[in-house]
Amino acid sequence: MKERVMLDNINCRAYESPKEMISEAENNYHTKISEITDELLSDSYRSMGKRIVFIAGPSGSGKTTTANLLSDSLNRRGYKSGVISLDMFYHDHSKFPKKADGSYDYENITAIDCEEIRNCIKCVLSGREYKLLKYDFSTQSRNGEYSIISAGSDGFVIVEGIHGLNPILIEGIDAEKIYKIFVSVSNGISIDGVTEAVTGKDLRFVRRLSRDLLYRGAHADKTISMWEDVLEGENKYLYPYKELADKKLNTFHSFEAGVLKPFVFRALEGCTADFNMIGGLLKRTTEFFKLVTEIPEELVPASSLIREFIGDGIYENLY
């Protein structure tokens, strides 16, 4: 049973000791990353040849930061490690699957080149180099630029993306050599101690709301219009495989609501969407954030997962 997180407790700590609150949450998450590193480097796992790590999770869960934190942790321990996004394996636009209404189905696993992903994994496991072509999102096609992916004889490659738990990605590959992680926001926040005023899914939404405006110049109306399709894609292509994960990570950070508060309201400026849509999501979240004690973003370290959604993080060029 998950812990009930109370807004009063969060607001109290945000007012009295925000630095300590942030430090505690950051230490907790980085400890989880260190524990996974220890597991991957244990004698039993090394004997199985586990050198590919898949990190999957729903939108706004912090997959990119988690993948890079783990990669850096492995590198510090002396093991070569790199990160690949499944987004780099999208098919050219002409091969995208379509929905019944004729629109492109970007969430469908057939939108990515699964065969090429398997080729990449096989190259890494055999100690060979793999040329990863760059995917140009402006033209929705691969261009001639590429990067070299290699883990040497004993290093790791971490692959992150929504489809990371889908068995189709490792067809014909020894599953014993794959370590799978599921990340998401498992906690919501309660006001009355009985129900959650905002759920983990709601927190993922506001994370994405902020990130879309910050990094993609996308107004809230666009994020909102896509959200139901995003959730539908997660239900179809992610959650059916959740139990295949070797490890589940809760990316909830106790201070995030206080830090995200100004970003949420900034993103919603000029929003024309009906606040009762999507089950009252906008109304529920805006009313909740009015009650949240704001925490200065300057207190959040550059290595924090929350930086993925507010900027100025050490992995900013990857978001």
pLDDT, one tens digit per residue, over 160-210 is: 999 999 999 999 999 999 999 999 999 999 999 889 999 999 999 999 999
Write out the two tokens for 96: 């995208």
Q: How confident is the model at residue 310 (pLDDT cuts 50, 70, 90)?
A: very high
In the CATH hierarchy, which top-level class contains the domain 7-318? alpha beta
Q: What angle do CA 221, 226, 227 make, to 5 degrees?
A: 100
- So what's the pLDDT on residue 35? 98
**Burial level of 311, CB count in 10 A (0-12/13-18/19+)?**
middle
Task: Compute the distance between CA of residue 166 and CA of residue 162 in angstroms, rounded to an integer.
Answer: 9
Q: How confident is the model at residue 1 (pLDDT cuts 50, 70, 90)?
A: low
Write out the two tokens for 274: 């009906």
Q: What angle do CA 213, 10, 312 make, to 5 degrees?
A: 35
pLDDT, one tens digit per residue, over 111-136 is: 999 999 999 999 999 999 998 888 88
Average model confidence (pLDDT) for the chain? 93
pLDDT, one tens digit per residue, over 256-282 is: 999 999 999 999 998 888 777 777 889
Of 258, 254, 264, the C-alpha closest to 297 is: 258
Q: How confident is the model at residue 34 (pLDDT cuts 50, 70, 90)?
A: very high
pTM (2 d.p.): 0.94
pLDDT, one tens digit per residue, over 37-86 is: 999 999 999 999 899 999 999 999 999 999 999 999 999 999 999 999 99
Give the dihedral sign, CA 209/245/148/115. negative
- So what's the pLDDT on residue 233? 92
- So what's the pLDDT on residue 2? 64
- At residue 140, the 3 state secondary structure works out as coil
For 190-194, which contacts have Cβ atoms below 8 Å and span 24 or more sequence positions? 190/4, 190/5, 190/6, 190/7, 191/6, 191/7, 191/8, 191/288, 191/291, 193/4, 193/6
Query: In 10 A of CB 146, how many CB atoms?
Result: 12
Q: What angle do CA 78, 84, 88 make, to 5 degrees?
A: 160
